[in-house]
Amino acid sequence: MNVNRLKDLREDMDLLQKDIAKVINVTQQQYSMYELGIRLIPIDKLDKLADFYGTNTDYLLGRTNVKTPYPAIKKDKTKVNN
C-alpha cells in the first residue's frame, strides 16, 4: 500500500483524517493507522476511498500511477452463468 498517496489525496482536498474516517465509517484512530501503514485497509473501505477520490484501487495500492477510475463493467443480463 502506498500510504503517502492516501495522505497526499486527503491533503490535496484540504481534509482532515476525521473527515475521511467519516466517509469510510471508521474512527479517526483507525484511519490514522491506515494512513501510517500500521493496519491494512479492508477491501470495502479501499473501494469507498477509491470512489470518494475518483480514482482506482490500484492507484491507492501503488500498483499504477494512473489515477483515473476504471470504466464500469456492464453486466449482460441475456447470458446465464453456469
Q: Residue 16 domain-assigned?
A: yes
**Residue % of the chain over a pLDDT of 90:** 71
- Please report where in the chains the cell 491494512 appears, as a residue: 40
SS (H, E, C) the chain: CCHHHHHHHHHHCCCCHHHHHHHHCCCHHHHHHHHHCCCCCCHHHHHHHHHHHCCCHHHHHCCCCCCCCCCCCCCCCCCCCC
Q: Residue 77 domain-assigned?
A: no
Mean pLDDT of 5-26: 97
Identify the pLDDT of residue 72. Answer: 72
Mean pLDDT of 37-59: 95
Mean pLDDT over each residue of the chain, to the nearest integer: 89
Alpha carbon distance 23, 10 (integer Å): 12
Residue 46: domain span? 3-61
Q: What is the CATH number for 55?
A: 1.10.260.40
pTM: 0.80
Mean pLDDT of 16-20: 98
How many C-beta atoms surround the C-beta of residue 6 within 10 A? 22
The total domain count for the chain is 1
When pLDDT is cut at 50, 70 and 90, the band that residue 67 belongs to is confident
Q: Residue 67 domain-assigned?
A: no
Identify the pLDDT of residue 10. Answer: 96
